[in-house]
Structure 1
Amino acid sequence: MSEYQKQPPPYGMHNPPPSVPPYGPPPNVPPHLLQPQGPPPLSQPRLLVQGQFGPAPSSSICPSCNIPVMTRVEHESTAKTHLFALLLCIVFFPCVCLPYCMDSCQATNHYCPNCGAYLGTYDH
């Protein structure tokens, strides 16, 4: 038989490992080191409070990438925008497009410029 075809020795033939208790804490370890440690406290909040944003870009902490950012703003038409346009259509037709051109008639969505995550909405 060649050297590569040899079989390993049976289980009883090798030296057993040193005696270690299978369960329980290691000996001589202070109890405060055995307690599970949570994550370190953050110096800044991770969650954003609704209503924190305004109509202009604002500084915030992105919950996705955890870095301070100046938000990227996008304006979006809402039901309120469409209702104003309908009202203008009834009252004075040539001004029907004004609510779609005015930022104050639209919702302001805030996004992270780094990762693109949605952070919140400011609705006038």
Structure 2
Amino acid sequence: MTSAPLEKTAWQGATQTPAPQPGQGLIAQRTVDLNQLGEEPRLVNCPFCHHQVMTRVQKESTSATGMAAVGCCLFGGIICAFLPYCMEMCHDSHHFCTNCGQKVAIRPHDGQVQIFSPQNPVVTAPAHIPPPQAVAMTHENMGKN
């Protein structure tokens, strides 16, 4: 006794992911050097926690964003002043480690990447501290108390 083949509904066909074909596998992502970060999250080796993580990107407006807003206001009116804050062309991209939360790099909208790393520990000992000097107690010093 054989059963009729199961037909997929349009909803099932649209919501189910197709099975990978033979020879197709997951594409291994490669880590990116911190100095090559752009505006999008990327897989990096965190210099703080030493884990391989996808960065979290936070966009922040800069003084160039304010200047662009002033220019838009002068040429397009007060309604256009908010446009540079909505557009991401004048924003800096701050990359954070998703494991430890540390800021690993900043990608300015118009410059080179600024990389952050842990502070190097202090390995030098403090300078030699001389021992206290003995003070002779005289009868004059004792009488002042």
Please identify runs of 4+ aligned residues in structure 1 that moved more than 2 A: none
Are positions 1:72 and 2:56 aligned together? yes
2:69 to 76, 79, 85: 85
- Offset of residue 95 of structure 1: 1.0
1:40-59 correspondence runs (5 A) = 49-50=34-35, 52-59=36-43
Alpha-carbon displacement from aligned partner over 1:93-112 (angstroms, at most 9, x marks no partner): 21110111112221111000
- 1:49, distance to aligned residue in structure 2 (A): 4.5
What does 1:1-124 align with in structure 2 at a 5 Å threshold?
49-50=34-35, 52-93=36-77, 94-124=79-109
Tell whether the 8 Å contact from 2:96 to 2:102 is kept in structure 1 after alignment.
Answer: yes
**How much does 1:89 deviate?**
1.2
AA partner of residue 48 (structure 2): S
Shift of 1:67: 0.6
The structure with higher relative contact order (CA 8 Å, sep 6+) is: 1
Tell me the TM-score normalized by structure 1: 0.57
Q: Is the 8 A contact 2:34 2:44 kept in 1?
A: no
Percent identity at matched positions?
A: 39
For 1:95 and 1:103, the matched residues in 2 are separated by: 15
Gaps of 5+ in 1: 1-47
Amino acid corresponding to residue 55 of structure 1 in structure 2 = E
- Distance in 2 (CA, whole Å) between partners of 1:92 and 1:100 is 15
**C-alpha distance in 1, partners of 2:34/2:55?**
15
TM-score normalised by the chain length of structure 2: 0.50
Q: Which amino acid aligns with 1:73?
A: V
2: CA distance, partners of 1:82 / 1:70: 30
Quote the RMSD (CA, aligned, Å).
1.7
